[in-house]
Structures are given as structure tokens and as C-alpha cells.
Amino acid sequence: MGVIIRDSEELFAKNRSECFKLIHEIGTQLEEHLRLVDPDEAYVPPSSLTRYVAIDGTRDIIEGQTHARIFAGAFAVKGEFDGRVDVTNIDHGCAFGIVSLPYKIVTSGDDYITESAGVITNLLMLLAEIYIAIRYAQSDVDVILLDRPLCGTLAHTRTKLPPNSIFHEYGRKSLNKPKDLDQLFELFETVTRRLFEETHPDPLRFGDRYVSSDELMFVCRIGMEYLFSLCSERKIDLVGVIKTTNDCSFLRFLITHFALNGMDTTKIRKIFAQLDDCKVLEHWIAPYQKLVCTREYDTALMTLMVDESGKVKELGGGGIAPPKRIVRSYMSFGLPLKGGFVFAVERLVLAGENPPLLDLPNGKTIYLLPVKGNSKQDRIFGLLKGMCTGAFPEALWYPLPLALAHRFAKSNFDYIRPRLKATSRVYGQEIGYGDLKRGFT
């Protein structure tokens, strides 16, 4: 066994080394889709004041013999940015729920299935983040920063209710058209009001049944679609920043570009089999001592690409990410050799933007913005880079408002957790921490 492990590690190291050599061999093709920026000239002060809100979530499960006691919430930091983040003049807001959930949840008639407490908890945290983002989008903000991907989060929701759902009384079974959203938003408000506004003993129980994870995914989708429409209507930039990613959508884009232009895809395919986007970009830019900003491309390329035969190939088995809605790019705010990272940044394409289109062989089109001359991307890059003040270790080469939202979430949870462990029943409004629910409940 030891020999097998040793040989496999040696083979892996050899393949990795070959991949790094290939990255530099395709350097010319990389340069066509990347913008290298001098770190000393990377930040241009904004021409006007930017009102931002940064949102982060937290959650935990306290196991019991028959129930899982769940804490899940979203915590927000709101402020104004005029070239610096003033930490002395920020507002806090949050929405959190505490749920005591039986391990066996009734989901259809008298049949019991065991739900994953972890899945439910993550969905409740997502619901809290969507809820608080909507509340801020209804006020005066210019940018909403989320510590999560937009497209990936959307992929973990669903547009149809299960056949035996307890929510069929709301009249719609699926979310396919804009008018469906208007009719279904009442359902989102009902569930979030129970979770985040009322002192309800069983917020996920409707009648004699509990809400299932599939139904929560549907409620989350309603909220996300409403948030998207609200941001588009009010011209609010909705931006998701992802600190770590194993995604290869940029490599898929390169393969697609090579295939559409009749270029050999062998080298990039070898890299694609071994590395992810961040490792490729961090390794490639290290010798240049520059910051990097890739061109923005449609997140549909997270789930498809054009193969060497010129045909569109679907990947992942979970359907195609919705095209012409969200664009993705990679940005670095600090040099890799000095501790910087390459982050994935996604943003919602707002109404009236009309980005350039790339035609695919199957007759569909996706967005593909230029490397240079993209004023929206330049503004987002400048904003995020300007927020990376490094005020404390977590915010080194990372936007400070998101780091502050993370600290706000963790410090409040540190306050709540002992109370959850010390008593058998705690409601959200019984915590007694004054700032916790200020502004929303």
C-alpha cells in the first residue's frame, strides 16, 4: 500500500509540473483574455459616493436525541465608500431564526423521510441572506456585496414545487414567468416572516407537516428571483465574491474559444484535467508582479463548453446555468507572492446593459464582454480593490466590508450559542441582544 501511495503521489506531482509548463506555453492565448494591472496604479478613486451593504451568513446545529436545534442567520454591514471604508460610521442589520426540527419530517401523507439537518440549515442561512438583501435593496444602496456565488447559489434552488407540497394552496406550482413571481412572493414573505420576524414555536411547520428541503429550495428561488428583479429595476449592482473556488469555467471558456476558432485544444485540456481557474491564474501571473482581471463571461460556461468537434457539450448533469443573466470574472487585489489571492467575482447583468454576445453552435447565445473598455467591470474592480485596506488579518487583500460582516456574524453567534446549549427552547426574539434585530423586526 505504501508503494502505491508513493508512486501515485510522484505521478501526480509530475502531471502537475507538466501542467504548469503548459500554462506558460499558452501564455499568448491567456493574454488575449486577461488584463494585467500595475498594483501601484490599480486603484482609481470613485467619482461619486458609493452606498454599499455587505452581507455574510452563519449557521450551526446543536444535536439532540430527537431534534436538531438550528441557528441560521444573515448579518449585514452598511456604509458609504468614497475612497476609504470608514469603520466608525457603519450601520448593522441582521435576520436570524432558531428552529427546533425533528429529524423525521412529514413530507407526504403519513410517509416519513429523514431530511439532512445540514441541508436544511444551509437553506435557512441562504433564506436569511436573501431576505436581508431584499430589505436593503428596497432602501437606498448602490452595491450589495455577498460572500457567495450568484450562479452556484441559484443552481442549488428549484423552480418547481414537489408534487405533494404543502404550499400548493398558494396557487402556483412552478416559477417560470415574471407573473408567477408576483403571485408567489406572498409565500416567500409568509415563510421569512415566521422565521425572522415572529416568535413562532415551529416556524417550519404548516398544519401537521414540516417544510421539506425541496420546498425550502423553491422558497429560496422565489426570493432570489425577486432580489434579481429588484436590483435590475433599481440599478443596484449585486456582486458575489468567492474566496475559494474549484471551478473551471474560465478554462471551459478558453476551450470554447479555441474550438470556435479552429485552434488545437490539447494543451488546455491537459490543464483542465489537473488544475482549476485560480491555480492557473495565480501561477501564470506570479512572474509578472501584476494584478490580474479576466474578461467577464457568461456563467452558462460553468455548465457547458464547445468541444473539439465544434459541438456544445453539457457538463455536470444538473442542467445549464441560466444564460445571459450573470457574468463572472477573476480578480486579484494583491500579488500572489505576497499573500494575495485570485477571487471569482460574479455580478448580475442589469436591464439596459446589452453586453456583446457570443454565438454558440446550437443556436444559443451567451454574454462575452471585452477585455478592455468594460466600464462596469472597471468600476467594480476599483471599488473592491479600494476596499482591501487590510485593517485586520482576515481583510488582507479582501474587501473590508465583507470581512466586517463576517466578524459581525461570528461575534453575534458567539453570544447566542451558549444560550442555545444551556436551555431546551430559545426563540429568536428571546435572545435580548439589542443590536441583533435592529431595523428589520
DSSP states of 208-245 as a string? Answer: TEEPPHHHHHHHHHHHHHHHHHHHHHHT-EEEEEESS-
pLDDT of 247 reads 87
Model confidence at 269: pLDDT above 60: yes
Mention every residue, 6+ apart, whose C-beta is less than 8 A from residue 33: 253, 254, 257, 294, 295, 371
Mention every residue, 6+ apart, whose C-beta is less than 8 A from residue 341: 243, 278, 282, 332, 333, 334, 397, 398
Structure-model confidence comparison of residues 64 and 144, the more confident one = 144
**CA dihedral in degrees (287, 388, 76, 88; nearest 10)?**
170
> Cα angle vertex 196, ends 81, 133, to 5°?
30
Structure-model confidence comparison of residues 245 and 354, the more confident one = 354
The answer to whether 72 and 59 are in contact (CB under 8 A) is: yes
pLDDT of 47 reads 66
pLDDT of 62 reads 77
Query: How far apart, in Å, are the Cα atoms of 230 and each of 133, 186, 326, 361?
Result: 10, 16, 15, 33
Q: What are phi and psi of 161, to 5 degrees?
A: -75, 150
Best CA proximity match to 331, nearest among 372, 297, 299, 293: 293
Model confidence at 245: pLDDT above 60: yes
CA dist., res. 260 & res. 48, Å (int)? 41
Banded model confidence at residue 103, pLDDT cuts 50, 70, 90:
low
Instruction: Average the pLDDT over 397-415 and give the result.
Output: 84
How crowded is the C-beta side of 72, counted as CA atoms within 13 Å? 25
The CB density around residue 377, as the number of other CB atoms within 10 Å, is: 23
CA dist., res. 48 & res. 414, Å (int)? 37
* Span 11-70, pLDDT tens digits: 878 888 889 999 999 988 899 999 999 887 766 666 678 999 999 999 888 776 667 788
Structure-model confidence comparison of residues 89 and 365, the more confident one = 365
Please state, rounded to an integer, the average pLDDT across all residues of the chain. 84
Out of 43-52, 105-114, 118-127, 388-397, least confident range: 105-114
**CA dihedral in degrees (87, 51, 138, 438; nearest 10)?**
10
Give percent of the chain above pLDDT 90.
41
CA dist., res. 148 & res. 150, Å (int)? 7
Instruction: Find cell 443552481 and name the residue.
Output: 155
DSSP secondary structure string, 240-281?
A: EEESS----HHHHHHHHHHHHTT---HHHHHHHTT--HHHHH
Grid coordinates of 251:
478554462
CA dist., res. 374 & res. 187, Å (int)? 39
Query: How far apart, in Å, are the Cα atoms of 187 and each of 1, 92, 94, 161?
Result: 56, 27, 21, 12
CA dist., res. 420 & res. 69, Å (int)? 8
Mention every residue, 6+ apart, whose C-beta is less than 8 A from residue 126: 57, 148, 153, 156, 220
Grid coordinates of 402:
465583507
Best CA proximity match to 67, nearest among 110, 106, 99: 99
CA dist., res. 227 & res. 127, Å (int)? 12
Instruction: Average the pLDDT over 96-124 and give the result.
Output: 70
Banded model confidence at residue 437, pLDDT cuts 50, 70, 90:
very low
